[in-house]
Every structure is written in C-alpha cells, then in structure tokens.
Structure 1
Amino acid sequence: MADGWVTRQLAPSAEWLAATPVAVAMRDGVWLYPVVETVHIVGFAVLVGAVAMFDLRLLGCARRLPVDALAAHLLRWAVASLLLIVPAGLLLFASAPGDFLSNRTFGVKLALIALAGANALVFHLGVYRGVAGWNVAAPAPLPARGHALLSLLLWIGVIACGRLLAYT
C-alpha cells in the first residue's frame, strides 16, 4: 500500500476485507471476476448513456422532447443501473482493496463520481426547478447547459479512469 494517510488508516479494514470468502472467490475463481466486471460495465454504460442523452438534450439536441418527460424516463434507467453498478463495484473493490486504495487513478475516479453527483444535485435543486419555462423547443438556460457540459466531461473522466485502472 502507498504511504498516504487515508491508505494507512484503512489498511486494517482493507486486509480484513481482502481475506473474506467473497474477496477470495473474486480473486481465485476463473469466471467470477470477469462476470462481475461485465455487469459493472453494462450497468455503467446504461447510467452514462442515460445521463448523456439528458445532457445532450440540454445542450440543444432533440428540442421537441420535453425536458421533464425525458428526465422522468431516463431517471428510471439511471437508478436501475445503480442496482448493477454499486454491488458489482463493491465486489470488484473487495477483490483487492489494498491495491485500489493505493491507486491514485481509483481515487480520482471516486472524486469524479462524487463531483458528477454533486453537479446533478445542484442542477436539480437549482436551474431545473424552472424547467417549465424551457421545457420544449426553447433552449435551456446557460446554467443548465453549463451543468450538462460539466456532467459530460466528468463522466468521460470517470470512464477514462475506469479504463486506466487496468494499467496503473
């Protein structure tokens, strides 16, 4: 493990987690890790796909689609995808918690996910409350477009970090 303070604090928990039967099965099984990783990637594709479709609408694509109806439809897909992503991600993490905790790319990935979530929360608590004024045909206001662009960039960063984990 790296010498970081957080890593040192979590080292005993990471060692315990790495010794659990689930973690051992994830490491030792021929098919379990690849199956769980595939579930994680499929769930992530659904989540990022839903987010990207919504963000592209805010950026001016398909203006005939009502923003609120699209949001309601895509939110179901995004939430359902989390039922795949979170458990699969926890299983992947359990397979080598020390390695993940000491990997800067993993830390950046988690930070980007947190920022993407905060961006979505600020959007929904803020500019989205006025969606009735720009729901159909009208361009989304500049702050909404800013949130959409930031969202796309953050999720692209998450995808890049996820891929880089295999190489760092």
Structure 2
Amino acid sequence: MTDAAPAIFVAIEGSAFAAMIRQSPFAYMIANVAHILSLMVFFGAVAVMDLRLAGAFAATSPDYVLRKARIFIGLGFLGLLASGIVLFSAEASHVVLNPLFQIKAGLIGLGILNAASFELFVRPKVKGIAPLTPLPRAARFAGIASIAIWLTVAACGRLIAYF
C-alpha cells in the first residue's frame, strides 16, 4: 500500500474485496486473463468498425458494420470494466500513482469522447449510406483516431507493470 495515494484509493486497496483478490491464488490471475480476452473482443470489433469508417471494406454497408460491431464492443467493454476493477482494486494505491495508468485513464476518456462525438455528430451522416459510397471525412477521422487511441490504451495497460 502506498500512503502517497489519495485516501479513496488506499481505502479501495484496503477493502475486504481487494484483500480477497490478493489472498486468492486464482482471482487476480483469472481477472488478468479475462482482461486480455475482453481486450481482444473489444479491439477486434473496434478495429473492424474503425477500418470501415476509414474506408476499408467499402463493399459492405457502414450501417450494418456499425450495428454488428457495437454488440461486441459493448460486451468487450463490459468485460474490460469488470476485470479492470478487480485488477485495479488489488493494487489501487500503487497503480493510481503510475504515470502510464494515468495516461491510460485519460486516453480511455478520450476514446469514449471520440465515440460519443461520432454518435452525436457523424453517425447521422453515415446512417443509410450505400456500400461503395465514400464516407464523410469526419467518419474517416473518427475511425483513424479511435484505432490510434485504443491501441495506445492497450500499450499503456501492458506497460503499467514496468513502471
């Protein structure tokens, strides 16, 4: 436990839930594997969706790809959230001070903001576009930005253990 962390994170790490995770021979390991599997589902769906927005798979309807990908993005994100809470709780006071975790958290916020701005401002322009029709520049930008953001989130997540 790191006393330099804000009290809320020291309390999270000191909770019965976090103690159970640290004392279990399997809980942290299972959460870590679940986090990686959820990342694969999440990023696989994000990559397909974002590549379509960037102009790949032009023979498919963008609306169809977006609808189908969203299901897996949601499932993957829920898995990442649940397993991330377990991983974070076990070492909250240490992890919260890690600069790469802070960058990762900020990038997650940026990724969610990018997705929300796409849904609000760009999605209405993409809805109903026929296959082989060029997408608006804003859609291409949102897709490329999303891939870059989520790849960097994943890289930061893997690097947390080394800093």
TM bin, normalised by shorter chain, reads over 0.9
Residue 59 (str. 1) matches residue 54 (str. 2): yes
CA distance in 1, matches of 2:94, 2:48: 34
State the shift of 1:53 in Å.
0.4
Q: How does 1:38-49 map to 2 (within 5 A)?
A: 38-49=33-44
Partner residue, 2:25: 30
CA distance in 2, matches of 1:164, 1:28: 24
State the shift of 1:133 in Å.
6.1
- Return the letter of the residue paired with 2:76: S
Give a deviation string over 1:21-42, Cα, whole Å, max 9, x none: 2211222222211111111111
Partner residue, 1:20: 15
State the shift of 1:132 in Å.
4.1
Residue 165 (str. 1) matches residue 163 (str. 2): no
- In structure 2, runs of 5+ residues without a counterpart are none
Q: Tell me the TM-score normalized by structure 1.
A: 0.90
- CA-based RMSD of the aligned residues comes to 1.6
Q: How does 1:91-130 map to 2 (within 5 A)?
A: 91-130=86-125
Give a deviation string over 1:33-68, Cα, whole Å, max 9, x none: 111111111112111111110111112211111111
Figure out how many residues of one structure are paired with residues of the other and give that number. 162
CA distance in 2, matches of 1:56, 1:121: 18
State the shift of 1:79 in Å.
1.1
CA distance in 2, matches of 1:27, 1:118: 33
Contact kept? 1:2, 1:102, Cα under 8 Å: no
Q: How does 1:138-157 map to 2 (within 5 A)?
A: 138-157=133-152
- In structure 1, runs of 5+ residues without a counterpart are none
